[in-house]
Structure formats: C-alpha cells, structure tokens
C-alpha cells in the first residue's frame, strides 16, 4: 500500500538552516499520527514542510507517492488540508460560509457552489458536530467551537490527509477531548489520515495511534504510544524539573519537599489526595509501607522524600516495618489515610500502634472511631476527620501544640 | 441548502437602496449648486437642449455632470482599492494610501508645482500635474510590487510601503520649504482633493482605466475570500499567492493612482466605506462586498462632494474634510453599536 504521506530523510527549517533534520516516516491511510514535543521543538516547522507551505531543505515529501513539489497547488489542496493555529479574525462570516470555503479548490472561477457542494458542507458540519452552529457568526463562537468549524472546513476539502497544528491548545478539557474524538472518527470511519502536533502528553498517548517524539533537532523516537511509554523518553523529552511525568498514570506530579514532617500510612489510592494536598501546603512527606503494585506507590515515589515499600502481593515483612519505624520516629505526626485493611498489609496497623507508643499525634481519616481495624489501639488519643479539608485545617495546630 | 436565507435578503435590499441613493445623489448633484437648476431643465438638457438657457446647459454638461460622474467612479475605485488592501494586509485600519501611493503622487505633483519640473513638456498645465501624480503613484507602486516579490511577510511589505511614504513626504516638505508662497498655495489646494474641474476627457479616461480593473477585482473575489482566512490557509486551498499578491497590488494601486492623479488624494473613503458596507451588509463575502463597496463608495463620495460644494456655496469646502467629518462618526457609530465593538 502506498503511504498517503511519506517523509524521506527530510530536513525542515527556514532560510536553508535546518531546524529538524532527518525526518523519516510514513503515514498510512486512516492513521492518526501525533508529533509530540516541547514548545519550540520544531513541530510546526515539520508540519509546514509536510504540507508544502515550506520547501524542504533536504529530502522529499511524497503525497500518494508523488513528490509534493511536483503537485500543482490546486491538486494538492484536494489531497491535503490544514488546520492551523493562526488566529482567524472573521467577524462577519457565518460558520457555514467558512466551512464552504473548503470547496475553493473544487469550484469554478467565481466560486459558485453546486448542490453537491452544499451537501458536502452540510455533511462535514454534521460530522464534527457543528451542524447546529451553521448560521452563527464565527466570531461569536467559543474557541472549542471555532476549532471544530476549522476542522469541518478542512474536511470539506475532501482530503486524504489533514494536517493539524496544535488543534487542542487553548481549549478546555471538554473540547480537547471532543476534538480528539472528532479526529478519531475521521480516521476510523472516513479513512482520513491525520497528522497533528500536540504538546499535551496525555492526549497524544491516549488518543493517537502513532507518536513521534520531537526534541533537539531530531526525532527522538517514534512508535505506538505503548512503545513510547516503555522507552521512558517522555520525562527526558520535556526536560521537566520539579515535577515528574508518571508514564503509567499519564499525569504530572510535582516533586515534594525533601524533609520528613509527616509520615503517611496509606494504600489502595487512599494516600494520593493526602500526598498532593500536604505537599502543596509545603510539608515534607514520607510514606510506608506501600506495596510496589499499589496505585499510591506511583504518586508517593515522586512526592514523598522517602517511601518504604514492599514487594507486590507479599505480606509486609518485619524488615520493612522496622524501616518504616525509623521514618515514623523522625516525623512530627502520623496520618492514617484510612486505607483498606487486608491480609497482606495488616502490619501497617502495627505502625499506628508504634506511633501511639512513641507519643506521636495521629490523625486518621478512617470513618468510624469504633472501627474494628483498631485492635489494641486507644482510639481516644487519635484525631478523627471526615475529610481531608477538615484534617488540613487543624494539622498546623496539632503539630505546633505537640512540639511545645 | 438555504443556510443563509436571511443573509441573502439583506444584501438584496441594501443593493436596491444603494442604487436608489446613487440616483438621488446624481439628480441632486445636477440640480443643486450656486445656480439652482430645476429637474425640468435638467430633463430638457438631455432631450431638447435648445429649449433651456444656454448657461444652464453649459453648467449641466460641462461642470456638474462630469463632476458627479467623476465623484462616482472615484469613490468606487478608492473604496474597492481600500477593501482589497484591507484583506491583503489582514488589517482593518489600512487604506489605499498606506502603500505610499499618495505620498508618491504628492511628491511628483510637488515637483511639478513647486519645483517647476515639466516632465519633458513645454508648458506647465493641469495635464502636467496629472502626469506627475500618475507617475509618482506608479513609481511607488512599482517599488512596492518589486518589494512584494522579494519580501515574504505581508507586515514587512506594509512597513516598506510606510517607509517609502515617509521618504516621499520628507522630500515633499523639503520642496515646500524651498518653494514660493504662491506655489505652495496651489499645491496645498491639490492635496485637499477635489473632483472640481473634471473635463469630459478626464472622465472618459478615468472610466476607461478603472472599470476593467473594477471587473478584475470582482473576478478576484474567490481568492480574496480564501485570503480572509490568512495567507497560509489561502495557499493550502490552492491559491497561487505570488500571482495573487501581484494582482492585488497592481489592481488596487492602479485604481488609486488613476483617481489620485485626477482628483488628488481622497482620504477616508478607502478606509471607511469597506467598514460601513461590511457592517451594514453583515458579511465578509467578497462576492457581495466588491459590488456593494463600489456602489456605496460612489454614494458616499458623491454625497460628500455634493455637501462640499453646496453647504456654504459659493465657497467650496475641501472634500477630504467632508469625507472625514461624515465618515468617521458613521464608522464609530457602527462599531459601538456592534456587539463587542471589534472589527
């Protein structure tokens, strides 16, 4: 099968200076390919070169097997359409008129639309879910609606390939998802190939079939989202400091303080909101004992300065418990996240007992004071809270009074 | 299918209104003036010209008729030129003179009036001025076209136009500083713009040159529409930007140069009329905009010229003062009334 677009040893840049060199990839029919990289990595430059707006410095771009330089611009417009980041200020054009502009490569000298043209425009607006907007003025629309209309316009060109530059930037999460959904529909149902630039790691990895990582004058790697995640390239790609991209969860966590103010006993997701909240307030956190396959682990390992872990599915061993005990001794107070107690993490309850013996203030989010989880523990000395909000409103005071 | 039923009715009504206004202004322009002429007489002038006073006949056929026709074609040309330039630069506050055309014309007319250059002619005359102004406008235009082939960015081209304009204005000021007082007066009069003194031959030339270019402008409405989305989108839809850019500069410059040569720099029409039309017609679609701007450019210029010469007759106001006084409040009103007040 001839690829819809094929970039062969392409150097892209301006004024004979390559910004990105040796781009090499094929885009097949119905593929959704995403260029992922930080701002200024050269994603837009690549897209402009792929779309023929910029001449390649070296190498070739082929559309359906033909060198793009040899395709007449009018014919190219029937193969390929664009959605750009350029802010279009069309105050007095209706949505329909803008979508209908996509027929320009097909209409005659004066641009009269035929009955078929009208049908194509109607269908395109329907496909992107903007049919209800067609009589509205473009300038009255929200950013998300505008983007959908621009995609409809691109669709009206009836291309094999749509190239989109940052189609989701400036959009809220609802519209981000909607735009990606629309593109997925175009690729799956209509067999249109989409090449898009994104800087949103999450959307790229979860929404696209092929991801190309662009960084520092080069394509770092390319492959399926799963391969990209496995390669551990994302953190390097964005050169993030002060935060860590969690490739498993696909989320960013800010690195916490490197101190041990509060020891948190969590598990099964109960710890995550507490880590995040207290870290935001400036506390240095430690946590334990968490199993390595626990969801809390992936977040705690970034936020907390130290985390005591146990191998997956193993009951907590004594050695882990004694390591946790050392951290617990240093901390100013202990929080019981209200984790679910089961066979393998039973020993975490012992940690609470130890904390009590050490005279550490214990704050608990366990919902019932008479909870049968507390065996041999004097619940009177534990501060119980219904929510994290309640807990944080009194934590400062408890720590202060205890230190006195 | 009938997506824009409402927006099709509106232009239709406004077109008819425009033509009616044009007719009314035409009649008023013939009849009103320091010597009033009745409609009856006017009719006779065209049908049985031996039955009206000879002076009236002369006033109608050699003064008022050519003048109103000149104002019409002048207004239409400058306004269409303004519309094209606004689309080309994607900037709502540019006008035909932004490319330095008027400054070029000014300089060359300055050379004629103030410096006594005759461009090879034996005697100085209005023809000399005309040729001077046309040469000036075309000279600057060619430089801008040359630049447009070299420069990629439209904004840079705009700045080049502005800079050329500044150089020409500076040269003109130098000339003015060195010139005789009398000559300065007649030069200043020219810069105020006026359709007075149009002869039939001038009118003929103005129509002969501008009408083909107005038609070309209309035929360009499809790429002009594509250009509304910006140069990159236009290219992605198969518009050949180089050719289009060349055509747009040529067409808008010639439309402006011709009128400037005959009537002096007519300010504000090129800026205001496209806005007024856009906001009343409520569209950006150039297939409607270009004919509409033609008609309303003619209406507005004809009206302003009528006011300029009648309101404190026999003294004539400078046309540019009237166009600004009438045009500016209309634009501001339309902007303020419009939701959000953006262009």
The answer to whether residue A211 sits within a structural domain is yes
Identify the domain boundary among A231, A259, A282.
A231
Dig out the tokens for B228 from the structure. 């509304």
User: Between chains, do A104 and B222 touch, taking CB under 8 Å as contact?
Assistant: yes
Beta strand segments in A142-205, E: 161-165, 193-198
| Claim to verify: residue A52 and residue A141 sit in the same structural domain | yes
Q: How far is A24 from chain B (nearest CA, A)?
A: 23
- If DSSP codes are grouped into helix, strand and coil, which group holds residue B151? coil
Residue of B nearest to A156 (CA): B237
User: Rounded to whole angstroms, what are the CA distances from B98 to A138, B78, B89, B171, B330?
Assistant: 28, 12, 10, 17, 21
Residue A300 sits in a domain whose CATH number is 3.40.50.450
Q: Do A91 and B343 lie within an 8 Å CB cutoff? A: yes
Answer yes or no: is A240 within a domain: no
| CB-CB neighbors (< 8 A) of B285 in chain A | 93, 97
Q: What's the alpha-carbon Rg for chain A, to the nearest Å? A: 28
**Least confident residue range of A196-210, A326-340, B39-53, B224-238:** B39-53
Q: Do B226 and A101 touch (CB under 8 A)?
A: yes
Chain A residues close to B236, C-beta within 8 Å: 51, 53, 77, 80-82
Please tell me the number of Cα atoms within 13 Å of B68 on its side-chain side. Answer: 21
Which residue do the tokens 């067609």 mark? A134
Euclidean distance between CA atoms A303 and B48, whole angstroms: 100
Is residue A264 in a domain? yes
**SS3 call for A374:** coil
A337 with A218, same domain: the answer is no
Same domain membership, residue A192 and residue A43: yes
pLDDT at residue B343 tops 70: no
Identify whether A105 is part of a domain. yes
Q: Which residues of B touch A165 (CB under 8 A)?
A: none
Task: Give pLDDT, residue B296.
Answer: 94
User: CB–CB of A268/A331 below 8 Å?
Assistant: no
Give me the half-sphere count of Cα atoms (radius 13 Å) on the Cβ side of residue A24: 5
Is B97:B267 a contact under the CB 8 Å cutoff?
yes
Same domain, A214 and A308: no
User: Looking at the domain assignment, is residue A287 inside a domain?
Assistant: yes
Residues of chain A with pLDDT under 50: none
- Per-residue pLDDT, A289: 92
Contact B3 A86 (CB under 8 A): no
- Whole-angstrom CA distances from B194 to A335, B58, B198, B209, B211 are 87, 20, 9, 19, 20
Q: In a mutagenesis test of the A interface, which of B11, B14, B225, B233 is the best target, namely the one with the most A β-carbons within 10 Å?
A: B233
| CA distances, B136 to each of A325, B205, B260, B331 (Å) | 91, 18, 10, 30
Same domain, A152 and A273: no
Do A211 and A261 belong together in one domain? Answer: no
A-B interface: how many C-beta pairs under 8 angstroms? 96
**Model confidence at B120: pLDDT above 60:** no
Nearest CA to B73 among B335, B219, B269, B337? B269
Contact A201, A250 (CB under 8 A): yes
Co-location of A198 and A255 in the same domain: no
Give start and end residues of each alpha helix (H) in A12-137: 43-50, 73-79, 95-100, 115-127
Nearest CA to A121 among A96, A150, A145, A141? A96
Using an 8 Å CB-CB cutoff, list chain A residues near B228.
88, 90, 93, 101
Residues 81-100 on B with a CB inside 8 Å of A are 90
A395 within a domain of the structure (yes/no): yes
Contact A77 B222 (CB under 8 A): no
How many of the other CB atoms lie within 10 Å of CB of A137?
Answer: 20
Total domain count, chain A: 2
Percent of chain B residues topping a pLDDT of 90: 11
pLDDT value for B122: 46
Lowest-confidence pick of A32-36, B70-74, B193-197, B287-291: B193-197
CATH number of the domain that residue A64 is part of: 3.40.50.300
Residues A259, A226 share a domain: no
Residues A260 and A373 in one domain: yes
Q: Which of B105, B75, B70 is closest to B190 using CA atoms?
A: B105
Tens of pLDDT, residue by residue over B137-180, are 778 877 877 777 777 676 787 788 888 888 888 888 888 888 77
Confidence at residue B339, expressed as pLDDT on a 0 to 100 scale: 52
| pLDDT band at residue B5 under the 50/70/90 scheme | very low
Closest CA to A156 of A107, A109, A195, A204: A107
B285 near A CB under 8 A: yes
Question: Do A225 and A275 belong to one domain?
Answer: no
In a domain, A286, yes or no: yes
Domain housing A200? 5-231
Structure tokens given for B109: 């007319």
* Confidence check: pLDDT of B340 > 60: no
Beta bridge partners of A219: A214
Same domain, A196 and A325: no
- B23-341 CATH choice from 1.10.3470.10, 2.60.40.420, 3.90.1150.10, 3.30.420.40: 1.10.3470.10
Give a yes or no: residue A241 inside a domain. Answer: no
């Amino acid at each position: 099968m001839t690829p819809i677009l094929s970039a062969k040893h392409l150097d892209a840049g301006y004024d004979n200076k390559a910004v990105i060199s040796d781009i090499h990839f094929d885009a097949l029919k119905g593929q959704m390919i995403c260029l992922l990289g930080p701002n200024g990595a050269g994603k837009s430059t690549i897209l402009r070169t792929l779309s023929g707006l910029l001449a390649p410095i070296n190498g070739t771009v082929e559309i359906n097997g033909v060198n793009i330089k040899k395709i007449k611009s009018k014919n190219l417009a029937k193969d390929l359409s664009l959605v750009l980041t350029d802010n279009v200020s069309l105050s007095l054009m209706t949505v329909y008129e803008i979508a209908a502009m996509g027929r320009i490569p097909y209409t005659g000298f004066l641009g009269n639309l035929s009955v078929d043209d009208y049908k194509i425009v109607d269908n395109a607006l329907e496909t992107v879910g903007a049919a209800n907007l067609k009589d509205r003025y473009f300038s009255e629309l929200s950013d998300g609606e505008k983007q959908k209309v621009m995609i409809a316009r691109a669709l009206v060109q009836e291309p094999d390939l749509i190239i989109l530059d940052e189609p989701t930037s400036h959009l809220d999460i609802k519209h981000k998802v909607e735009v990606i959904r629309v593109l997925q529909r175009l690729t799956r149902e209509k067999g249109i190939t989409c090449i898009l630039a994104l800087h949103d790691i999450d959307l790229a990895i979860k929404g696209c079939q092929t991801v190309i990582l662009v960084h520092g004058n080069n394509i770092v790697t390319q492959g399926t989202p799963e391969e990209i995640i496995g390669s551990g390239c994302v953190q390097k790609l964005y050169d993030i400091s002060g935060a860590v991209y969690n490739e498993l969860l696909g989320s960013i966590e800010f690195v916490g303080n490197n101190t041990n103010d509060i020891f948190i006993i969590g598990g099964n997701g109960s710890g995550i909101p507490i880590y995040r909240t207290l870290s935001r307030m400036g506390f240095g956190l430690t946590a334990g004992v968490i199993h390595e396959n626990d969801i809390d682990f992936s977040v705690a390992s970034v936020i907390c300065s130290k985390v005591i872990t146990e191998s997956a599915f193993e009951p907590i061993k004594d050695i882990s418990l004694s390591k946790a005990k050392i951290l617990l001794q240093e901390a100013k107070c202990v929080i019981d996240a209200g984790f679910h107690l089961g066979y393998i993490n039973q020993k975490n309850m012992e940690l609470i007992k130890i904390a009590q013996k050490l005279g550490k203030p214990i704050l608990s989010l366990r919902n019932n004071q008479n909870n049968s989880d507390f065996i041999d523990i004097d619940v009177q000395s534990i501060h119980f809270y219904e929510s994290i909000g309640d807990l944080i409103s009194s934590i400062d005071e408890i720590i202060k009074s205890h230190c006195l | 299918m009938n997506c824009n039923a409402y927006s099709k009715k509106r232009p239709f009504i406004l077109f008819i209104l425009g033509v009616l206004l044009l007719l009314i202004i035409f009649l008023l322009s013939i009849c009103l003036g320091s010597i009033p002429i009745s409609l009856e007489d006017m009719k006779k002038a065209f049908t049985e010209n031996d039955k009206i006073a000879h002076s009236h006949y002369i006033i109608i056929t050699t003064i008022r008729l050519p003048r109103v026709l000149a104002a019409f074609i002048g207004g239409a040309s400058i306004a269409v030129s303004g519309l094209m330039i606004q689309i080309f630069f994607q900037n709502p506050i540019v006008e035909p003179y932004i490319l330095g055309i008027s400054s070029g014309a000014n300089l060359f007319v300055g050379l004629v009036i103030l410096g006594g250059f005759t461009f090879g002619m034996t005697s100085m005359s209005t023809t000399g001025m005309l040729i001077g102004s046309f040469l000036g406008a075309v000279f600057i235009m060619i430089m801008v076209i040359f630049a447009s082939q070299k420069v990629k960015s439209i904004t840079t081209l705009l700045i080049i136009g502005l800079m050329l304009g500044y150089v020409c204005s500076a040269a003109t000021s130098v000339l003015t500083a060195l010139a005789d007082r009398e000559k300065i007066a007649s030069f200043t009069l020219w810069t105020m713009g006026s359709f007075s003194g149009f002869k039939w031959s001038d009118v003929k030339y103005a129509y002969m040159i501008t009408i083909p270019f107005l038609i070309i402008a209309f035929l360009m409405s499809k790429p002009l529409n594509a250009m509304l989305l910006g140069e990159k989108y236009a290219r992605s839809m198969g518009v050949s930007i180089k050719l289009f850019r060349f055509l747009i500069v040529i067409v808008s410059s010639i439309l402006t140069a011709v009128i400037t040569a005959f009537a002096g720099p007519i300010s504000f029409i090129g800026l205001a009329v496209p806005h007024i039309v856009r906001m009343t017609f409520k569209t950006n679609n150039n297939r409607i905009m270009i004919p509409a701007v033609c008609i309303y450019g003619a209406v507005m210029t004809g009206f302003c010229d009528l006011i300029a010469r009648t309101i404190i007759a026999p003294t004539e106001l400078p046309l540019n003062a009237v166009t600004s006084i009438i045009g500016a409040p209309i634009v501001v009103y339309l902007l303020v009334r419009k939701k959000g007040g953006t262009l």
